[in-house]
Structure 1
């Protein structure tokens, strides 16, 4: 996380944003009530950089740009920020100075996703198997969108929480059966010999899987967008699309189960991002939970850990606001880049 700020506890409003590889979502947060309003979504491709998008939001929503906190889909360490799946790059301090901001906080999008877990109300998640979560135990969060994001949330002895952003989506994907080895071979040829989890478990990953599975069955299919593949799978009109989504959920289950073991996440594993909620009707009949629990000598541990799909709107921005709330509560009057 990067904090380039002179934090003012008397301020009433801040602008928060959740910036992915495709869309940038902006909103205004009331720092007294922590209610969000003036929410607007901009396609990232329509703007040269973050500064232009912030100016467009300011002008269209008639809001002051004084305190800004954003979550962004890339590592957020140091002053130089470069998005992983989009061309935006910027200096934190340079952006603050160019816009005349009093404070500017930048955090990884899955640090924000982890913080959003504190804001979720009953009815904003759907449980996918497992036992009862243990309060204040570590949690994992992952999400498929333009890329594959990963984060964790841990509880500290003083009552605060610490989000742990990571780049687990770029870890190697491990095939587990003959068909998956064929998929791996197909994708390895396409991606210079290495296949990360993100190459399958994302919107573009679904497109890759569709081609790989068609090749496995010696079928010629046209390149399709993930949205179209998902729609065909939901209607059952395309057997390759259905198999693609089933494979997506099987591999997602294996990956999520690995995260659960890595940090012993008895607080639950949460699935965010734009892809899974749209395909939720197909999840229950998939191998997701079977593969999540297929952990050999530690299958009993995996079986006990619950999974949840986050269905809440604007969870990323709510996570940014939660992080800002904790920062304001504990921060001195001024802070520098950390």
Structure 2
């Protein structure tokens, strides 16, 4: 007699055969990002890899390994607007693919640049940067916004609504709003060969928790960790048994990974509280440096800003602003 377990394994194997993984090199850990091609009457690519010529070569090689060319991709679904997930959209759009993007992504991309600059300047100052470094970071944030606009091309993209049932390429998906890593992040669930699968982007990764980047160094950065917890609450409703993430291996059993992600967020809060206790009153940048050492990239700083916001709302940390800089200490 065939058991339920063996039947489930067969269905999962068949689902894996219909979903092809494409990998792209990136210069930051874990040194790769994944996209996934879902076969069907209309082919759907989830995320679009790293930018530039190297990314295009990897896109073509990955598709060819599965027996496809860029012209065969009917739809591209973007889980969130980070450069390593949208890099090859122009190539795919130019050969006829329809690009689907979270609704909130489009509203953020269409912001007035002057207003965006004000937010970047305010948050960069609040974090503890000044002088040339502050100006450099603001310009980097503005250039990222301009780049994302070019890659996404908002005027031609189709919106994907959060927490809804949406139809793409003749297939239905349940969408989950999963902010925290990115304010616009969506996960998408569907059934393939009898197996419920989840395309989780960077919201749910088995080996690690992606950074709580939320909005970058912009207004609203301090809600990133709260948003991440909320994303895990929403994902706990998934029926998926097989998960296709943006980094790390494909995995089974998302509920265990959801709990591990919550545990990692709990650990981040504890580390941040300890760091604030050691150096406060101090800026987010100083607290991040106390927590992890030298801050060379934005990830530890943005994690720290998000954690400080959560700790303050929970009443264990207080803050005050002096000359635009936010200073935190234990309550």
Flag whether TM exceeds 0.5 (same fold): no
Q: So what's the TM-score if we normalise by structure 2?
A: 0.25
Richer in helix (by share) = 2
Give the structure, 1 or 2, with the largest relative contact order (CA under 8 Å, sep 6 or more).
1
